Structure 1
Amino acid sequence: MNARETAMVAHSWYEASVTRPPADAALQGALDVDVCIVGAGYSGLSAALELRQRGFSVAVLEAEQVAWGASGRNGGQVLVGFANDDTVLRQLGPAAARQAWDISVAGVHLLHARVARYGIDCDLVRGYLHVATSARKAEGLRHWTAQMRDTFGYDPISDIAPKDVRNWIDSPRYVGAAHDALSGHIHPLKYALGLADAARQAGVQLFAHSAVSRIEHGPLVTLHTAQGRVRSRFALIAANAYVGQLLGKTGARIMPVRSFIIATEPLPPEQAQALIRGRAAVCDTNFMIDYFRLSADGRVLFGGRVTSGNAGPDALMPSLRARLAGVFPQLAHVAITHAWGGLVDVTMNRAPDFGRIAPNVYYLQGFCGHGVALTGMAGQLVAEAIAGQAERFDLFARLQHHRYPGGPGLHSTWLRLGVAYNQLKELV
């Protein structure tokens, strides 16, 4: 782990609130399996579980440790849909887009089912608030909820009358809102560790500190690490924003964007309860979003502020604190106990990017902040494809993507331009 990433995760409340099991051993020597997976996050662990249920032997190679990346650091928001539903609708057409949407909804149900089946104690809460900061954005939110019901047949979403918004969230910032009764939130690291434990019990071989340095393609795929190699019939690259060069030009279709979260001290129960009805997760409709929720012990976990540069959590904490106070003025002087960050894998069109770089080498990337639930279904779809039922996987593989021009060296430039453009749009 380099110094920059150490700083990003060092003061994570998620890490501070769990006791990790002993680390998995590093790969030593040679191993032959049916499927080798790169990345022990949600998508890799989900695929591993699904493949074991279908009788495949599976090894997972993780460069650091289970859930070290986004799966252990994210906002914990369990969402239906995609970061850009319009892209999916435009590219796939109404019928196929409805099928893709239904798969995303199934992802939330799958997460609930796994929590129950494996007894994962991850502080699962149902309920999600989409909130708008202006009358124009409130109108856009109402248009979106109508699309969710009329185009995608999604009934758990309901509009909140403007006069009732303050009854749902005790903030002066929002003038419009909608409630989603199915989406919600979890403690993301607890969930990932629960998936890893279930995978081990199912017979998946997990290897930590086993970064893949090279892949040899062919009828059998060989993945090399510093101290060993795995030879397999199929491979899945599920490293997302930390993929490096393993996907070649395909990996250039995502931009790793840094996002940050702060945690307050635990609030008195009555104060915490008064902030958000039902302890729902919340996200606004802005391009530069604020997203937040209450933890099981009454903290406000408040996230946002993106950058592709070198800024760390300490540098962004004043900005996040100010935004928290703007949402909840009553918390202006509350203590901030933790601040951390991580990488989000963002595609240009903000639609998921699933596909193959060879007939027997699959990849999953581009979750764009909607990965907590969708990664579970992505793993299931890959397992189906490897087992010979590729229809649902190929539905997503039809989505068209473009590489970011100029490669990683221009990521900061593109992000600054994108932020500036969307901030101007939000002022109109």
Structure 2
Amino acid sequence: MPVSIQNPPAGYRPSWYTSSIPPPVSLPPLAGSRQADVVILGAGLTGLGAAVSLAQQGLEVVVLEAQRVGWGASGRNGGQALVGFGCDQQVLEGLTGQAHARVLFDYSRQGLALLKQRIDQFQIDCQWRPGAADVAISARQATGLQRQAERMAALYDYPLQLWDQAQLQAQVASPRFIAGLFDANAGHLHPLRYVLGLARAARQLGVRIHEHSAVTRLEHGRQVRLHTSHGCITAPFAVIAGNALLEGIDPALEKRIMPVGTYVGATPPLGAERAAGLIANDIAVADVNWALDYFRLSADHRLLFGGMASYSALPPPGLQAAMTRRMHAVFPQLADVGLENVWGGMIDITRNRAPHFGRLAANVYFAQGFCGHGVAATGMAGDLIARAITGQAEGLDAFAAIRHQPFPGGRLLRRPLLVAAMSWYKLRDRLG
């Protein structure tokens, strides 16, 4: 039976996701010193994706998780599985050139295909639903969607369906939006079910996962050591997949990402007919504002509504009421419905919103900077790292070529500077 939202499984934070699954099996913390071929920090989508790929190639893998499997953004996110990255393709073109940006985009397509393949291969019941749309609020945004559709078809061989207002409203019953860009290849899923399914697959392949085993120190050398408070793992290779929750392990990584809070709420069950009256084709939807709203239906006919990013490391004041108002602005027909619960967590963003993958040393790999676009990209990143460890590094090297600058201001000022910058973008959204 599902557990109560007020009483989530031990070690997890309350969310509709945790309330909608049976309690996950607990995995023992690390005790003592052990050897492995590869040791991974983080049992989220990146770390487990790498673990599965490595184990499929016959390597002995240990994963160390500070909390529970999928405790962070991997198990709490909005569930939209998309191609591309947190930045537009034109940003990547400016960073790497158009030809290289095409290579990176094609890897993102492989990442979405890999996610679907693993759902089928490991029979993960994560409530996958196909289809996602970006939607425009203003004429300027609608023109931008049209240009995006033309560019993606011409330069990236990736056709998208451009919907006018009538076509869009036949699928998404909101007066707020005037155009849409539909991707039939994308989709949405229950993220906690997916990450737990990936963990089960990894364990079936022989991967050892230790929960409640926070890494306290990374020791470089020909043999890498990851230390916890009760033991250490020694291995020829290590993977750092802590993302927004990486603290105290490597300053060079930490200063190139900023943890940002983002939030999701769930209505009570609406019933099948009323839910379908909101989103007829059960797709995932996101607007194209800088401070965006995104939403989809759950398998039990709730509306899951996300947004309200916080750049200050604190939840916005009056969060649940503010998110409810935003939901009512999108769907006025839900004026009698509130958000039953709201939850959130930290995602990791880079200055340029491009992904940050590479090496800390010849035998220490990392992936971070998914910028809220990681449901599919994390698995791709883990797989590219696994390929690099086994001697096929061209994919990882393609991403390592992206230059990333640290956030300005150092530890004390970098967050206030980001808050000021984001205030301008939010004002631009309001001005249309």
- Match among 275, 280, 295 for residue 272 of structure 1: 275
How many residues get paired? 421
Which of 399, 402, 410 does residue 399 from structure 1 map onto?
A: 402
For 1:369-408, list aligned pairs within 5 A: 369-408=372-411
Corresponding position: 1:87 with 2:91: yes
CA–CA distance in structure 1, aligned partners of residues 261 and 34 of structure 2: 35
1:139 correspondence with 2:120: no
**Other structure's SS at 2:37 match:** strand
2:5 corresponds to: none
CA RMSD in angstroms, aligned pairs only: 1.6
Q: Percent identity, please.
A: 46
Q: Is the 8 A contact 1:308 1:411 kept in 2?
A: no
CA distance in 1, matches of 2:112, 2:148: 20
Question: Which letter maps to 2:75?
Answer: G
1:34-68 Cα offsets, whole Å, 9 max, x none, are 10000000010000000011111100000001000
1:263-299 CA-partner distances (Å, limit 9, x unpaired):
0001121111111131000000000000000000000
TM-score by length of 2: 0.95
Instruction: Name the structure 2 match of 1:154.
Output: 158
Supply the AA of the counterpart residue of 2:148. W
Gaps of 5+ in 1: 1-5
What are structure 2's unaligned runs of at least 5 residues? 1-8
Find the aligned partners of 2:226 and 2:12 in 1 and give their Cα distance: 28
Specify the alignment match of 1:163 in structure 2.
166
Runs of at least 4 residues of structure 1 off by over 4 A?
A: none
Q: Deviations over 1:347-403 (max 9, x none)?
A: 000000001111100111000011000011101100010001100100000001111
The yes-or-no answer on 1:244 pairing with 2:247 is yes
Cα deviations by residue, 1:8-46 (Å, 9 ceiling, x for unpaired): 963300011111332110000001001000000001000
Counterpart-to-counterpart distance in 2, 1:408 and 1:79? 32
Matched-pair contact (CA < 8 Å) for 2:12–2:68: no
Contact 2:247 2:254 in 1 (8 A): yes
**Is 1:25 aligned with 2:28?**
yes
- Equivalent residues of 2:42, 2:242 under 8 A apart: yes
AA matched with 2:279: I
| 1:313 Cα deviation from its structure 2 partner | 7.7
How many Å separate the matches in 2 of 1:32 and 1:313? 44
**SS state at 2:341 partner:** strand
1:123 correspondence with 2:130? no
| d(CA) in 2 for partners of 1:327, 1:312 | 22
Structure with higher helix content: 1
- Tell me the SS of whatever aligns to 1:98: helix
Please give the alpha-carbon distance, in whole angstroms, between the structure 2 residues aligned to 1:181 and 1:300: 20
Preserved contact between residue 261 and residue 339 of structure 1 (Cα < 8 Å): yes
- What's 1:3 paired with? none
> Does the 8 Å CA contact 2:30/2:231 hold for their aligned counterparts?
yes
Distance in 2 of aligned mates of 1:65 and 1:314: 28
Does residue 107 (structure 1) correspond to residue 107 (structure 2)? The answer is no
- Tell me whether 1:290 sits opposite 2:296 in the alignment: no
Equivalent residue runs for 1:329-340 within 5 Å? 329-340=332-343
Structure 1 length normalisation: TM-score?
0.96
Aligned residue for 1:97, secondary structure, equals: helix
Check the 8 A contact 1:141/1:285 in 2, yes or no. Answer: no
| Distance in structure 2 (CA, Å) of the matches to 1:411 and 1:11 | 30
**Whole-angstrom distance in 1 between the partners of 2:316 and 2:190:** 20
Q: SS state of the match for residue 348, structure 1?
A: coil
Q: Give the Cα–Cα distance (whole angstroms) in 1 for the partners of residues 23 and 150 of structure 2.
A: 43
Report how far residue 422 of structure 1 moved: 1.2
Tell me which amino acid in the other structure corresponds to 2:357. F
Q: Give the Cα–Cα distance (whole angstroms) in 1 for the partners of residues 235 and 126 of structure 2.
A: 33
Q: Whole-Å Cα distance in 1 between the matches of residues 372 and 202 of structure 2? A: 24
Whether the 8 Å CA contact 1:28–1:227 is kept in 2: the answer is yes
Once residues 290 and 69 of structure 1 are traced to their aligned partners in structure 2, the CA distance between those partners, rounded to angstroms, is 20
Read off the aligned partner of 1:32 and give its amino acid letter: Q
Task: Tell me which residue corresponds to 1:181.
Answer: 184
Matched, 1:363 2:366: yes
1:307 aligns with 2:317: no
